[in-house]
Amino acid sequence: MKVSTLLLAIASPLLASASSNMLGGFLSSQQEVISQDLKVPGSNPLYFCDDPANNLLTIDDVDLSPNPPEAGKTLSIAATGTLSEDIEEGAKVRLQVKYGLITLIKQEAALCDYVKEVDLECPLKKGDLKLSKDVDLPKEIPPGKYTVLADVFTKDNDKITCLTATIQFHR
């Protein structure tokens, strides 16, 4: 589904990945209220799933234009962050995408399969990440509320990051 391009693209600069699948993850309840303390810095709809203090990826900033994203427009993403250690083959992304209460995608994927989409390769090296990406969003994105979650971890199950976003598309 093309709408999946949006949220993966939103998260991808900081996850060093992008594809035509939306990112998501596994929370016990999508109905939980997310604290403003967990807001990802910048002009975006992203939140950390929980306290990011021990994450391997420190996210400095994610800016989207337009924010919120709009069907039929080009979404420009600019992001910066820092990895505290190398990320090797075997890193995974747990993906979940919901349209309202309906789960569209729930899967686990290899992070390194996605990084090629943003001109990176595994292993991702420790240090600063800076990324820009333009994504053409299709006009055909069905109107409604989309909730996504990306739980990203190393092959040894160390948390890289966990991000969530809710986006409302209108006609």
pLDDT for 12: 45
Domain containing residue 127: 4-169
Residue type for 90, please?
A: G
pLDDT at residue 24 tops 90: no
**Contact present, 165 and 47 (Cβ < 8 Å):** yes
Average pLDDT value for the chain: 83
What's the number of domains the chain is made of? 1
CB atoms within 10 A of CB 107: 11
- Pairing type for strands 144-153 and 159-169 reads antiparallel
Tokens of 28: 């016990």
The pLDDT tens digits of the residues spanning 3-17 come to 334 444 444 433 333
Which CA distances in Å does 16 have to 10, 33, 67, 109, 142?
11, 27, 20, 14, 27
119: left (phi over 0), alpha (psi -120 to 50) or beta: left
Residue 94 is part of a domain; what is its CATH number? 2.70.220.10
The pLDDT tens digits of the residues spanning 72-102 come to 999 999 999 999 999 999 999 999 999 999 9
pLDDT for 165: 96
